[in-house]
Amino acid sequence: MNYTFEELPIAVNKLHQRLDSIEKLLLCSRQEKTLTSDELLTVQQASELVNLAVPTLYSKVSLKEIPYCKKGKRLYFSRSELIEWITEGKEPTQAETILAVQGRMTRLHQKRR
């Protein structure tokens, strides 16, 4: 396409807008990919994720207290499984405990009717 000298600023502006939109799409795509992919971690990476020393991680593996995969002599950890393992130990807040008790009381009261 041929542009006149006067049309060049408009064409460059349109080109710049298109590049910006492509860049945004690529960044969004990259973020979605990292959020959805279940990444395998090494022992060192897993220890950093769960904030445990490597020897502590090995002892948890030997006691089968933490989810892991073993291929040959190497250990691997699934990022999502480790995050799930961490959140399983979450203690309920006082508000969550009160709501749970209220729910149980309501169900018991409804059964008696």
**Spatial separation of the C-alpha atoms in residues 65 and 52, rounded to whole Å:** 13
Q: What pLDDT was estimated at residue 35?
A: 46
| Predicted structure pTM score | 0.52
pLDDT tops 80 at residue 106:
yes
Is residue 75 within 8 A of residue 68, CB to CB? The reply is yes
- Rounded to a whole number, what is the largest CA-CA distance in the chain? 86
Rounded Cα gap, residues 41 and 44, in angstroms: 8
Instruction: Return the structure tokens found at 55.
Output: 């020897």
- State the pLDDT at residue 34: 54
Residues 61 and 87: their CA atoms lie apart, in Å, by: 18
pLDDT of residue 77: 94
Beta bridge mates, 41: 77
